[in-house]
């Protein structure tokens, strides 16, 4: 079984970060005043979530961020308190907010603001920031919803620049389709089952169809795929190997950001020179443990280790 090579530096790239605001309303009713019983506000966005989780588990990384000027202190003071190393390009406007409404222990709905607009100057500054920081044998996790103003050609330019510098590209964004993914050929993607079905326009209710779809994507240039399947764990796929991770049943408090923790867990394994099987085990343990925390708080080390001990990984 192959092992994955440790990276020199780890970067996350967030062009449209967000505040994740979780509200607990018990119970929720239509056409009535709903009292908020609890609230949590975290600086977030897919890339930032990965950085926060890696930092909590003592994995050095740097977050490259484009953010709104108008509410910068509210966003970056908490990041600094978590000792997240970051470099920022500020733009006019506000960093957006995502509202996650929970009632009776379940996510009822999510509402998202549009956020700021990026122009040609911001794209050029982003390319310059990437070129200044990133070099061969680094890894870049490029995730999240694209900001207004970012075109597909801008997206391709950013991805091509990262790869031309000799870095590995991880892509985790619902702003791209299968044609975009096959065009940039990332080192790693991490869809969930519903996203993979939508991406490929296939019925993935049968495991054999799932496995053949993953293999097809691998053969088309996507080196590594981590497929999240919620309580059913995950599947890792490359051209050479398929690995299944079965996870224990845990109490779900919030699933927001679980996929980001899954990515962080996989990279955590790589940076600690673990075998591929163990990297997959950590990915599953981080992702599952994260749902035991409120909002987008990274999983605790204690929860992760408990889940890790009860996670089974095996070749399929």
Query: Strand 106-112's sheet: what is its strand order?
Result: 36-44, 18-25, 96-103, 106-112
Q: What is the pLDDT of residues 177-223, one digit of tens each?
A: 999 999 999 999 999 999 999 999 999 999 999 999 999 999 999 99
| Structure tokens belonging to residue 234 | 């995950």
Q: Are 306 and 53 in contact (CB under 8 A)?
A: no
What was the pLDDT predicted at 105? 79
What was the pLDDT predicted at 255? 86
Q: What is the pLDDT of residues 1-17, one digit of tens each?
A: 566 899 999 999 999 99
Please tell me whether the overall predicted TM-score, pTM, comes out greater than 0.85 for this model: yes
| 61/114: higher pLDDT | 61
Strand partners, 25: 36
Q: What is the pLDDT of residues 258-277, one digit of tens each?
A: 999 999 999 999 999 999 99
What was the pLDDT predicted at 3? 64
- Residue 26 CA, chain-centre distance (Å), reads 29
All domains in the chain, ordered by first residue: 10-315 (3.40.1190.20)
Q: What is the pLDDT of residues 131-164, one digit of tens each?
A: 999 999 999 999 999 999 999 999 999 999 999 9
Q: Where does the chain show beta strands of DSSP type E?
A: 10-14, 18-25, 36-44, 62-68, 86-91, 96-103, 106-112, 139-143, 168-172, 188-189, 224-228, 234-237, 242-246, 312-315
The per-residue pLDDT of the chain, averaged, comes to 95
Q: In terms of Cα–Cα distance, which of 219, 168, 161, 222 is closest to 191? A: 222
Report the range of poorest mean pLDDT among 54-63, 108-117, 162-171, 234-243.
108-117
- Once rounded to an integer, what is the mean pLDDT over residues 101-114? 88
Q: What is the pLDDT of residues 270-316, one digit of tens each?
A: 999 999 999 999 999 999 999 998 888 899 999 999 999 999 999 99
């Amino acid at each position: 079984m192959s092992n994955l090579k440790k990276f020199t530096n780890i970067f996350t790239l967030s062009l449209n970060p967000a505040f994740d605001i979780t509200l607990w309303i018990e119970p929720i009713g239509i056409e009535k005043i709903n009292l908020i019983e609890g609230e949590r506000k975290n600086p977030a966005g897919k890339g930032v979530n990965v950085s926060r989780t890696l930092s909590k588990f003592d994995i050095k990384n740097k977050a490259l961020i484009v953010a709104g000027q108008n509410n910068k202190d509210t966003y970056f003071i908490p990041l600094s308190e978590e000792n997240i190393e970051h470099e920022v390009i500020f733009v006019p406007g506000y960093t957006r907010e995502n509202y996650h409404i929970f009632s009776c222990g379940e996510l009822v709905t999510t509402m998202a603001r549009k956020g700021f607009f990026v122009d040609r100057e911001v794209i050029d500054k982003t390319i310059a920031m990437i070129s200044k920081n990133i070099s061969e044998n680094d890894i870049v996790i490029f995730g999240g919803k694209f900001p207004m103003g970012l075109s597909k050609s801008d997206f391709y330019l950013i991805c091509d620049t990262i790869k031309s510098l000799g870095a590995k590209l991880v892509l985790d964004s619902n702003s791209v389709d299968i044609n975009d993914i096959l065009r940039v050929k990332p080192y790693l993607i991490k869809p969930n089952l519903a996203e993979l079905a939508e991406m490929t326009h296939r019925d993935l209710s049968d495991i054999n169809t799932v496995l053949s779809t993953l293999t097809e994507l691998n053969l088309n240039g996507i080196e590594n795929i981590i497929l999240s399947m919620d309580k059913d764990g995950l599947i890792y796929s490359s051209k050479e190997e398929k690995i299944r991770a079965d996870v224990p049943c845990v109490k779900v408090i919030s699933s927001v950001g679980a996929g980001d923790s899954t990515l962080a867990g996989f990279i955590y394994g790589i940076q600690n020179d673990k075998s591929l099987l163990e990297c997959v085990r950590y990915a599953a343990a981080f992702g599952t443990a994260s749902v035991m925390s409120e909002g987008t708080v990274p999983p605790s080390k204690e929860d992760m280790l408990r889940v890790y001990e009860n996670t089974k990984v095996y070749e399929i």
